[in-house]
């Protein structure tokens, strides 16, 4: 009886061993080459975007059997957003992550994700970028030398300055604010009475410190991790734009990969995005509290004033909307409406 039992155990062990052998052989048969990919981005390494990219790097290493290494270059050390995008297209840099609207110079339709007061919540943004519209926006970039892998987030943008709180529409008047290097942002803030100064992100902190500009606008986590709050007196919670961020790889880099390598990188980008969004949302609460604790004056903007701001900038939004693919505009609005209806 014991011999029969032992025999069955041996058979089971043999079966498991054969299974592991084939699994190992299958993994070894996958087509991965030794590669080091360079990933440049504007935020600091400890920012939620940086943490999401560290996760991405770990996942790529794991999924490629340690064959592919993703080397991170945080803090704009390889240049501003426009420089890094150009480097991706030229094949001298492999990956980047940036606000999707920054790509409007490449395809004007990407500007829609940076439209002021488009999203009321993170859930609405998720529905758009994870749905058909988000996929379509990334597909539009492939003919321009860029492959969209997934969407991270940078959160709602807020206004900071060193002169006074922005609590009503009139408080924008005369402020000299650094804005993104995008026609949409320049035109929006001009309409609000601001003197907009478009600057690459790496130039922002010294411009604030040296009083070249009065203030700027960025999400809370960026304000905190880039120490912007140390050279600003006021943070006004305008929530004027929510920033989904595109994780991009240069097409020249992508086309060199085997199908196994592409699958591993794509899966890692999806998984890292889920992780990054959760970290971003949790950390926004902590970052705002830390800013308050540092002595910076933080103020809300009332719903009534938000409506006044929206009404003031509506002609600019209408003008930019006319230039976009109207089917895409309808898709975005339909996804947002579904979330607001609770569907």
Domain boundaries, the chain: 33-340
Task: Report the share of the chain in percent with pLDDT over 70.
Answer: 91
Residue 215, SS3 per DSSP: strand
How far is it, in rounded angstroms, from Cα 133 to Cα 330?
A: 9
pLDDT (tens digit, 9 = 90+) per residue, 200-228? 999 999 999 999 999 999 999 999 999 99
Give me the pLDDT at residue 30, please.
85
Between 21 and 58, name the one with better pLDDT: 58
Q: Is the pLDDT of residue 47 over 60?
A: yes
Does the structure show a pLDDT above 80 at 66?
Answer: yes
pTM exceeds 0.85 for this model: yes
Q: How far apart are CA 112 and CA 182, in angstroms?
A: 12
Query: Above 90 in pLDDT, residue 25?
Result: no
- H helices of 118-243, in order, are 122-129, 132-139, 183-191, 204-209, 220-225
Lowest-confidence region among 10-19, 65-74, 286-295:
10-19
- Average the pLDDT over 279-299 and give the result: 98
Q: What pLDDT was estimated at residue 22?
A: 40
Residues 37, 68 contacting (CB under 8 angstroms): yes
pLDDT at 290: 98
CATH topology of domain 33-340: D-Maltodextrin-Binding Protein; domain 2 (3.40.190)
Residue 7: predicted pLDDT? 45
Asked if 229 and 223 count as a contact pair (C-beta separation under 8 A), the reply is yes
Instruction: Kindly give, in sequence order, each residue whose CB lies less than 8 Å from that of residue 85, ignoring residues fewer than 6 positions away.
Output: 96, 98, 102, 103, 106, 146, 248
Q: H or E element: which one contains 235? A: strand 234-237
| Mean pLDDT (the chain, rounded) | 92
The lowest-confidence range among 16-30, 201-215, 241-255 is 16-30
pLDDT of residue 175 exceeding 50, the answer is yes
What pLDDT band is residue 29 in, cutting at 50, 70 and 90? low
Q: State the Cα–Cα distance between residues 162 and 73, nearest whole angstrom.
A: 30
pLDDT level of residue 39 (50, 70, 90 thresholds) = very high
Condensed to tens digits (0 to 9), the pLDDT of residues 100-123 reads 999 999 999 999 999 999 999 999
Tell me if residue 110 falls in helix, strand or coil: helix
- With a cut of 50, say whether residue 238 has pLDDT above it: yes
Q: What is the arithmetic mean of pLDDT over 4-12?
A: 43
């Amino acid at each position: 009886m014991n011999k029969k039992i032992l025999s069955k155990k041996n058979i089971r062990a043999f079966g498991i061993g054969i299974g592991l052998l084939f699994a190992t052989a299958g993994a070894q048969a996958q087509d991965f080459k030794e590669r080091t990919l360079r990933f440049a981005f504007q935020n600091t390494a400890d920012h939620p975007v940086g943490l999401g990219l560290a996760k991405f790097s770990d996942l790529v290493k794991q999924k490629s059997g340690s064959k592919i290494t993703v080397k991170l270059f945080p803090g704009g050390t390889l240049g501003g957003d426009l420089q890094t995008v150009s480097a991706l297209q030229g094949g001298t840099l492999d990956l980047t992550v940036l606000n999707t609207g920054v790509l409007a110079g490449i395809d004007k339709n990407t500007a829609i994700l940076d439209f002021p007061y488009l999203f009321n919540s993170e859930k609405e943004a998720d529905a758009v970028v994870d749905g058909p519209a988000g996929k379509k926006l990334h597909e539009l970039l492939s003919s321009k030398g860029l492959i969209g892998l997934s969407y991270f987030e940078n959160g709602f943008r807020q206004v900071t300055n060193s002169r006074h709180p922005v609590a009503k529409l009139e408080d924008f008047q005369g402020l000299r604010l650094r804005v993104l290097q995008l026609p949409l942002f320049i035109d929006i803030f001009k309409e609000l009475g601001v003197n907009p100064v478009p600057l690459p992100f790496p130039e922002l902190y010294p411009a604030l410190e040296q009083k070249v500009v009065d203030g700027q606008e960025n999400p809370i986590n960026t304000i905190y991790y880039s120490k912007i709050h140390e050279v600003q007196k006021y943070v006004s919670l305008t929530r004027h734009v929510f920033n989904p961020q595109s994780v991009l790889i240069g097409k020249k880099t992508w086309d060199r990969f085997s199908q196994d390598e592409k699958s591993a990188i794509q899966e890692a980008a999806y998984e890292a995005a889920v992780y990054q969004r959760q970290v971003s949302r949790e950390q926004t609460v902590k970052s705002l509290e830390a800013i308050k604790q540092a002595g910076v004056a933080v103020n809300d903007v009332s719903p009534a004033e938000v409506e006044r701001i929206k009404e003031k900038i509506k002609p600019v939004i209408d003008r930019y909307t006319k230039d976009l693919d109207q089917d895409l505009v309808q898709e975005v609005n339909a996804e947002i409406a579904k979330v607001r209806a609770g569907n």
